[in-house]
Chains A and B, each alone.
Chain A
Amino acid sequence: MSAQRIDDPGSSSEDRLRANDVTIGYDARVISRGLTVTIPDNEFTVIIGPNACGKSTLLRSLARMLVPSAGAVLLDGQAISSYPSKEVARRLGLLPQSSVAPDGITVADLVARGRYPHQRLLRQWSRTDEEIVSGALAATNVADLADRPVDELSGGQRQRVWLAMALAQQTPILLLDEPTTYLDIAHQIEMLDLCADLHAEQGRTLVAVLHDLNHACRYATHLIAMRAGAVVATGPPSEIVTAALVEDVFGLACRVIEDPETGTPLIVPLARAALRGPDLQHPDAPPAVPTPLGA
């Protein structure tokens, strides 16, 4: 796959994508305040954390879908909002959580739309566009579906088509918002394998929000663990994932063992019987405060 290795024109010693002291949220509701996150270049970064911890919000602001009310997201050292929209789209791609395929659109037509940021009014479909779209279809194993309508595909195929569209955009950085949601286990693994290939073979910087901690530990080369809008830990899974961290971030009592397949950390929740009464609590609840005697 050397043909599709992504060039890295603006690379410097500093990492290309960074959220610098940002305050983000929706309308008046602040999710994160004063958050600083660096996305290391050429790593497969996975953001994890419990529901509503702000991981998707962070990803959306990194992808300039959300404008921080304070601070700035920096792309190649400049505020991402200062670039022309198409220029950002040539450097950074996003696979959103939910997209709608227009009625009756074919796979090839949808994937071809990924070339939009590289096209102009009188350069609507160059040979390069065609080669790159063919490559993206092949890389995601949907080349045989090229003239099928997207509505007729299965969930797993459809998600691969959306990924192909993001690949056709040819961005060195690709953000994925829960790319495995709604997929069964086999298709989840297939999707993550694809992402790992993109990272390993094409040298893309990948950032994904994932729900499954074990998937995150297996595929990420860099983890960002979040809780309540703040970053709790960052680093390679094998260095940072411990029972204490999982307890701290998710409020889940567990053991961390070595994945027999990959050697990465594997989280095994403790059996109910192993838990003592007061610790049997909802994972979203704050860590239990011991009740003072006689209260």
Chain B
Amino acid sequence: MTGVESKPARPLPVAALRWGSVSVRVTRRPLIVSVLLAIAVFAVVVVSSFVGDYPLPAQDVLASLLGNGTTATDFVVLDLRLARALCAVTIGAALGASGAAFQALTRNPLGSPDIIGFTSGAATGALLQILVIGGTSLAIAGGALFGGLASALVVYLLAMGRGAVGYRLVLVGIGLNAFLWAINWYLLISAKLEDAMSAQVWLTGSLNGRSWEQLWPVLVTVLICLPLLMVASRPLGLLEMGDDAARALGVRADRTRVVIVVLAVALAAGATATAGPIAFVALAAPQLAKRLTGSVAVSVLPAALMGALVLTTSDLVAQRLFAPTQLPVGIATGVVGGLYLIWLLLSEWKKGRG
């Protein structure tokens, strides 16, 4: 007898909420961080509704937000400002969640859709639509969606096989990324000047002129894919221990990976189709969220909220910094994200993994 029962039972440092037979694991810090992030996002959205080129008294804005505005203030506050801010929230959440999934899948902080080629594939699709075929913004979104999915498929098929799937995914993706940007630049320099200019604006990633009609498709995508991704993040976390250990616990490794890739690509493609390839949000948001939550688990929700916060804030700054000139939000996220990427590479390099 080894006397297991005789030892004083120490409570395990694993917390859960229980109601009858239902139990849900919660950890305090990620929960608090998520709530605070959600409050911050809400605050930025409210602030975004109050500021803009067209000066409006605060009480008019409030009236519109509460549903008592005039047609004119409703147009400015709801259709221009609020819809755009909600676009930023949704797209930021999509990018953050997608980045969290890819980073967990590749076990690499560089494994985000903009580094491994999905975003540039979407850009190629959109450019072909703008420059070669021509078409409405809906057609451009369709082109981006198709391009993103096609490049994801190519990367996945090339990286598939036995062994370190994640690492190969990053390497193959970086290669495809370079290849696609060569095509993108070729399309740009061989296009007519005015076409090239509008394509260039799209390429920078911008929320200018985004309103309700652009919001709904990406919102529906997020509302479907984000909860599914949160459910799938449990087996995804187990895959981090290696395929054998995860499969021994009953995780279907290959199927989990396919499901995660499909959901994450759908989110990234939806975001890119709506606003163009916005740089670095998918790369930085999951890492920032991870540092705040201090959590080992794959934290899709905190990453999504962080993505929403980063993008809404960046868009507000990009709009107001040189007002009335509106910068594309991609420039703001690019500046901040570029600095972050340098820091990330340096710290990874110091850890000997970069």
> Which residues of chain B come closer than 8 Å to A106, judged between CB atoms?
13, 296
* Residue in B18, B23, B231 whose Cβ sees the most chain A Cβ within 10 Å: B23
Residues of chain A from 116 to 138 with CB closer than 8 A to chain B in the complex: 116-117, 121-127, 129-130, 133-135, 137-138
Contact B249 A121 (CB under 8 A): no
Q: Is the CB of B24 within 8 A of A124?
A: yes
Interface size on B, residues (CB 8 A): 34
Interface string of A192-204 (1 = CB under 8 A from B): 0000010001000
Tell whether, in the assembled complex, residue A96 and residue B250 are in contact, meaning their CB atoms are under 8 Å apart: no
CB distance from B249 to the nearest CB of A (A): 5
Q: Which residues of A (134-190) have their CB < 8 Å from a CB of B?
A: 134-135, 137-139, 143, 146-147, 166, 169
Residue A261 CB within 8 A of the other chain: no
Does A82 sit within 8 A of B, measured CB to CB? Answer: no
Query: Given A109, A117, A125, which contacts B16 in the complex, CB threshold below 8 Å?
Result: A125
| Contact for A105 among B1, B234, B296, CB less than 8 A | B296
Whether B248 and A96, one on each chain, are in contact in the complex, defined by CB atoms closer than 8 angstroms, is yes
Known: A3-B5, A102-B296. A85 touches B14 (CB 8 A): no
Cross-chain contact B18 with A101 (CB below 8 angstroms) = no
Question: Which of B2, B7, B235, B249 has the most C-beta atoms of chain A within 10 angstroms of its own C-beta?
Answer: B249
User: Once bound together, how far apart are the Cα atoms of A104 and B4, in whole Å?
Assistant: 27
Residue from the list A88, A89, A123 in contact with B21, Cβ < 8 A: A123
Q: Please give the distance in Å from A236's CB to the nearest CB on chain B.
A: 26
When each residue 1-21 of chain B gets 1 if its CB lies under 8 Å from chain A and 0 otherwise, what string results?
A: 110110101101110101001
Tell me the minimal C-beta distance from B176 to chain A in angstroms: 26
0/1 string, B237-266, CB within 8 A of A gives 1: 110111011011111100000000000000
Find out whether the CB atom of B5 lies under 8 angstroms from the CB atom of A125: no
Q: Which of B7, B14, B231, B244 contacts A65 (CB 8 A)?
A: B244
- B66 beta carbon closer than 8 Å to chain A: no
Report the bound CA distance from A157 to B128 in whole Å: 57
Q: Is the CB of A114 within 8 A of B249?
A: yes
In chain A, positions 80-97 with a C-beta closer than 8 Å to chain B are: 84-90, 93-97
Q: A100-B242, A112-B14, A125-B14 are known; give 11 further A-B pairs, CB within 8 A.
A: A1-B1, A65-B247, A85-B251, A99-B244, A113-B238, A113-B241, A116-B235, A122-B24, A133-B12, A143-B7, A166-B248
